[in-house]
Structure formats: C-alpha cells, structure tokens
Chain A
Amino acid sequence: MTNVIQVAILGLLLGGVYALMAAGLTLAFGVMRIVNLAHAAFIIASAYISFFAFEQLGIDPLLSVVFVMPIMFFFGVAVYQVLFRRIEGSAKFGEMTVLLTFGIAIMVEGLLGFVFTGIYRKAQPGYANESFIVDGLFLPEGDILFIPKGQFYASLLSIVLLVGLWAFLRYSQTGYAIRATTQNRDAAEIVGVNVRRVSAISFGLSTALAGASGALMSYLFPFFPFRHWQWVAVLLALVVLGGMGSMKGAVIGALVLGVASSFVVDQIGPTWGPMTFYLALFLILLVRPQGLFGKEVPA
C-alpha cells in the first residue's frame, strides 16, 4: 500500500510540471488555433537559459523563472508579429501553423545544437537530490514515504503559476478578452476586442509558460537540443487527452497521465514510461477524439 501511495505521489508531482508545460501549448491552440510543434523546443531553449544562469551566475533554477518568463514572453510576441501575422488571413491557417512551427522547431534545435552542442545538461541545485521523509501518519509501522524536494518545489511553483494564470484569465480585462477570443473569435471582434493584439499577447503568455517549464526542466530532466521531439509528443498527448484548447483538460490530462506513467514505470519498467502517453493518445483518438473536455467538431 505504501508503495502505491509513493508512486501516486511521484506521479502527481510530475503531473503538476507536465500541466504547466501543456498549459502553454493548449493556450496557443485555444486562442489562435496554433498547433505549436515548437513549444517543446522553446522549453528546451529556456532550460538552457536557466542552466547557464545557474552554472555561470549561481542563480537558482526556480528563481530564474523571474527573468526567463519575461524574456520568453517578448520572444513569443515577436515570433507572432513577425511570422504568424503574415498567415493570419489564410483559409488554411491551422495547417500552415503546423508547418510553420515545425520549421521554427528545427531552427531552434539547430541553433541550440550549434551553440551548446548535443551533450546532456542538467543543473544540480542542492535540493535536486534531497527528499522530504514522511513517516507515521496513516502509514504502517516502519514504512516511510520519500517526497523528492526538487519535484515538490517544481510542482508547487507550477501550481502557483497555473493559479496565477487562471486568476489572470478570470479577472483581468485582458483575461476576459483572451477567454472571449478562445470561445468565439468573431464575437470577440464584434464587441471590440483587438483580436490581433490579444493573439500576440496569448502567444507571448504561451511561450512565457514554456519559459517557466524550461526553468523547471533544467534541473528535473536531462536535456539536449534534439530532446524536444520526445517532449512535444508527450505534450500533444496531454492536450489531446484533455481536449485541444481546454486549460482544465490539459491540467487534468497531465495529472492523470503523470500518475499513470509513474505506475507503468514502477510496475513494468522505465522504458515503458513514455509509451503511456502514446498509448493514451491512440486510445483517446479512437474513443473520444475531441478529448475529455474538448468540443466535438461537426463532420
């Protein structure tokens, strides 16, 4: 029983981080219908910023969120203005964003490989290899639970950022405009929302979330430029499970798959961990293509 709780806790902690990663991807799709295949490449790029801030300047990866997020926000706004604005009026906007972001991902990967080479990196702050130890409570005599500090802090920060994002979308005027544009772009225009401006801000927010995710990735997972392909597949599985464009769906999808993959790793083996995401992707596409909280698209 203790082992089941232990595995579930580890899964939930990872799921919290996955939720932050997926939130940015689903935001870009929800507001602008951009399937951003470069999202994971932005996460890896941000991981490099945090990694070198830690290695060269001694700045804690968790603290680096303070500057990585604004940098990535403005980067995202610039990418939107320079690249996406050109194809905005296209009847095949959705399809073109796939090609465009695929190209951006390859460019980012190439650039990172050229500058930082392909070697594995991982920041090693003191807490990364420490754990909180829980005993007593409801546990049988002598049993203990390990809660890795690094994952715990990362998950906590993810929750803080996601709650902040939720409050921003719920209560700010720009948040109202983003939600309105997500639900009905034409209606948003009719009530006076400058949808181009809102789209640029939303894409900036999406890349800022990628920035925060990268800061966490810098010490949670080993990374190198090519790694983003594996991550983007995982993130797509999360948002498809939750329903493309649904923030609530992305968070729930991330937590569910975080726990599921954790059990697969424990019961079957680490090689099968990533398979959980791909299997979930296949199953959800077969059974409920619109995802758990997505809307059915009429044929």
Chain B
Amino acid sequence: MPILEITDVSAGYGAGPDILRGLSLEVEEAKSYCIIGPNGAGKSTLLKVIAGLLHPRSGDVVFRGESLAHRRPDQVLATGVCFVPQDQALFPEMSVRENLIMGAYLVKDRALIKERLARVYEMFPILAERAGQDAGKMSGGQQQMLAMGRALMIDPILLMLDEPTLGLAPQIAQQIFSQVEQLKSMGLTVVIIEQNAQRGLELADWGVVLDLGIVRFEGPSEGILEDPRVRELYLGKAAGSREKK
C-alpha cells in the first residue's frame, strides 16, 4: 500500500510551459527513493508540488488517503510531509536554536518541542555546540545539517531532500549521507534528489529516473545505472546504443 500516490500530475511556473507532464509515481512507507535525471527533468518541481509550494495544473497528489494537490505548504507539512530545498532555506539572522524552533512552528506543545530539540542535538552534536550562532554564519555542511535537523523538529513521516550535498566537499557530503542513512534506519520514508547518482542510488532502496517531466524508468536502485536506458539518458545516445550492441 503506497503512502504517497502521484497521479498524472502536470505542473509549471506562472504562465510558462509544463515542467511536469502527466507524471505518476508511488512511494511506499519506510522505503527510500532516489530521484535522478538530467537538468530540467522536473526533479525539484516534483518535490515542490508534493510540498504544496507549487500547485499542480492537473492530476492529484494523495498522501495517506488525503489529497494534497491544492493545499497550502503549512497544511501539507501538518500531514507529516517535510521538504528540505536545495538552498536549505534557513533564517540567516536567527540563531541555530531559533531555526530549529521554527522547524516546530506547527507544534504547540512546548515540552514536545524541547524533547525534539534534545533529540536533534543528539543526532547533530555540532548544532548543540553552535546553538547560539547565527545560521548565516555557519559553513555549508553545518547549514545542511541544520536544515535536516530543522526538518526533524516536525517529526515527519515523509522527508524530501533536494540535493543535500550540492556544493559540499566530499568529506562533508559523506557525513550528510551517513545522517540520511541514520534517518532511514529510524523508519522514515525518504525521497532524495542527488546529483551524485551513484552515491544517491547506493543509499536508496528504489531509483526513479525522470526526464522531460515524466518518470522514464524506475526500479530497485541496485544496478539501475547499468540499465542501458539510464545510461542513454545520462551519457547520450552513443553510450546507449553501444550498450545495446
């Protein structure tokens, strides 16, 4: 039984053309998904549609039986769907602690917020060390950890990460991957867009290949990059046909 069902979704920005063109996808509970695809495939747009930041022009997004298609982002978040965008979207002039508290903006129980704050600090000790520092003054890796920690403050059911290692040094990126592994082991459903397709697919249970706004191919992540259709998309027609021969 899928936790999230995306059915025939078309979406775009303003009066521009459709970026997603009748995309359909199912996401199972407690599994992890890596979405890959060339630039302009619609990967980030898909996550924005699920998060309620962009409303679909047609089609539906159903999470645990509830349609999210025309809900506001705060209403989507309240259902347990949390999104960490590419630029982390932090509050640069707020302290690390204030950023984390903002992550629990929809939570009214102060004791629960305190409890979650302690849990996030335990998971990301650097955030506890820098609790009073302005988020804007942290390094890229620390900001990414803060963005992930902030997402955990709402105790999400489905966590969507858009290129969490973009622009990070390999060593720092490895730390982020380890944290994502930890989130998976906690039973969270994770959808990740990753520029390092190899590493992203190693991390995920299921791989989804997007191109021109539709799902071109999906399957178990092991060996997905060896598939000639995926190689063709990534390396061009020549590579694809060589593979076929």
Contact = CB atoms under 8 A, between A and B. Distances in A.
A3 interface: no
A193 interface: yes
B74 A186 contact: no
Contacts of A163: none
Given A180-B94, A192-B105, A194-B74, A187 B154 contact: no
Interface stretch (B34-42, B96-104, B174-182, B195-203): B96-104
Interface residues of A, number: 17
Contact of A190 (B73, B94, B101): B73
A183 B92 CA distance: 7
Given A91-B14, A180-B102, A192 B90 contact: no
A192 B91 contact: no
A176 B100 CA distance: 12
Interface string A143-180: 00000000000000000000000000000010011011
A189 B93 CA distance: 17
A44 B101 CA distance: 40
Interface string A214-232: 0000000000000000000
Contacts of A173: 105
B73 A192 contact: yes
Given A176-B105, A177-B105, A190-B83, A183 B93 contact: yes
A187 B89 contact: yes
Contacts of B141: none
Given A191-B105, A193-B105, A184 B90 contact: yes
Contacts, number: 59
Contacts of A194: 72, 74
Nearest to B98: A176
B51 interface: yes
A193 to B, nearest CB: 6
Nearest to A185: B89
A187 B91 contact: yes
Contact of A191 (B14, B92, B150): B150
B91 A180 contact: yes
A191 B72 contact: no
B147 to A, nearest CB: 9
Contacts of B103: 191
A176 B85 contact: no
Given A192-B77, A194-B74, A186 B102 contact: no
Given A91-B14, A183-B94, A189 B73 contact: yes
B126 interface: no
Given A176-B98, A177-B105, A193 B74 contact: yes
Given A180-B94, A183-B92, A190 B72 contact: no
A190 B85 contact: yes
**Counting chain A CB atoms within 10 Å of each CB, which of B77, B92, B105 scores highest?**
B105
B14 A176 contact: no
A176 B78 CA distance: 18
B89 A186 contact: yes
Interface string B101-123: 11101100000000000000000
Give 8 nearest A-B pairs by CB, closest first: A187-B89, A192-B74, A192-B77, A192-B106, A189-B73, A183-B91, A192-B105, A191-B102
26 contacts: A91-B14, A173-B105, A176-B98, A179-B93, A180-B91, A180-B94, A183-B92, A184-B90, A184-B92, A186-B89, A187-B91, A189-B73, A190-B51, A190-B73, A190-B84, A190-B85, A191-B102, A191-B150, A191-B154, A192-B74, A192-B78, A192-B106, A192-B154, A193-B102, A194-B72, A194-B74
Interface of B: 14, 51, 53, 72-74, 77-78, 83-85, 89-94, 98, 101-103, 105-106, 150, 154
